[in-house]
Amino acid sequence: MLRKVVLIFGLCALASLPARAQDTRAEFFGGFSYTRFHTSPSINVNGWDISGQYKFRDWVGGVADFAGQYGSGASIYTYLFGPQVSLPSRVSPFGHILVGGAHFGAGGGGISSFGMAIGGGIDARIAERINWRAVQVDYLMTQFGGGSQNNVRLSTGVLFRF
């Protein structure tokens, strides 16, 4: 299923490359994600991170971020939304505050909770509408089991601008 979704998004992104717009209004990011998830004991999980951003101005937009990480018999999914600010340039730093939910699954069961990510990163232009998200670092807070988990999430991948 994930392969089909990535393929569809990739084809849409490639099909839109010849279209030239005056301003970038939307961005789509897809890439690899690593999270150090603090449970008892802590686990390392790897997976994917995708996000879409609609820019209201050159420097501010609204982001929807979805991620899934897997490892040690567990899975963690996050779905987060919020504002992102950036400095539009060839090498573009950005920062965001995202809130939403998280789901932790292990051993055939699962639990959902509040989730929040505060972080940022650096995008570097590769071509006209293609950038590399060199790094995205987030403090990812979840609240499974009545307590808070303070996690670190790292992501990298490709960013398409439309």
Q: What is the pLDDT of residue 141?
A: 97
Q: What is the pLDDT of residue 13?
A: 47
Whole-model pTM?
0.83
Kindly provide the b/e burial profile for residues 70-93, where b requires at least 16 CB atoms within 10 angstroms of the residue's own CB.
eeeebbbbbbbebebebeeeeebe
List Cβ<8 Å contacts ≥24 apart for 16-21: 16/129, 16/160, 16/162, 17/128, 17/129, 17/130, 19/162, 21/162
Question: What are the backbone dihedrals phi and psi of residue 122, each rounded to the nearest 5 degrees, phi first?
Answer: -135, 130
Q: What is the pLDDT of residue 99?
A: 98
Q: Which pLDDT tens digit goes with each residue over 4-21?
A: 444 454 544 444 444 444
H helix or E strand, kind and range, residue 24: none
Which structural domains are found in the chain, ordered by start? 2-161 (2.40.160.20)
Angle formed at CA 77 by CA 71 and CA 78, multiple of 5 degrees: 135
In tens digits, what is the pLDDT along the chain, a chain of 162 residues? 545 444 454 544 444 444 444 467 999 999 999 999 987 788 999 999 999 999 999 999 999 999 999 998 999 999 999 999 999 999 999 999 999 999 999 888 999 999 999 999 999 999 999 999 999 999 999 999 888 999 999 999 999 999
Q: Which pLDDT tens digit goes with each residue over 82-106?
A: 999 999 999 999 999 999 999 999 8
Kindly provide the b/e burial profile for residues 124-145, where b requires at least 16 CB atoms within 10 angstroms of the residue's own CB.
eeeeebebbbeebebebbbebe
Alpha helices in the chain (DSSP H): 2-16
Residues paired with residue 40 on neighbouring β-strands, in sequence order: none
